[in-house]
Amino acid sequence: MMKMDATQLSKIEKGLQQLKREQIPIIADILKVEKDELMTLWLADQIYSVVKDEKLAKEAVQVAEKKINFKKRK
């Protein structure tokens, strides 16, 4: 199990350090929230960080959503 100290957690909370995917179960346990809920928020942050400055960000996210939905139907 990966350890996390208070300083590291504080930096994540303040947005000074990015949460890593493998840290999600640890944070979920600390915050007493569902891992899937935290994973959803983490994924949303990942997407946002990629498209936030793009003029066509909203359109790109909508296309990605259609691709995800299409793939689920297969």
pLDDT digits 0-9 by tens, 4-38: 788 887 888 888 888 889 989 988 998 899 999 99
Distance CA 1, CA 64 (A): 34
Contacts of 4 (CB under 8 A, 6+ apart): 23, 26, 27, 30
pTM of the model: 0.73
- Tell me whether residue 65 is in a domain: yes
| AA identity, residue 5 | D
Residue 46, domain extent: 6-73
In a domain, 51, yes or no: yes
- How many domains is the chain partitioned into structurally? 1
Structure tokens at 38: 């935290």
For position 1, what pLDDT does the model report? Answer: 52
> pLDDT, tens digit, for every residue of 40-56?
999 999 999 999 999 99
Question: Would you place residue 2 in the very low, low, confident or very high pLDDT band (cuts 50, 70, 90)?
Answer: low
Tell me if 30 is assigned to some domain.
yes
Residue 1 lies in a domain: no
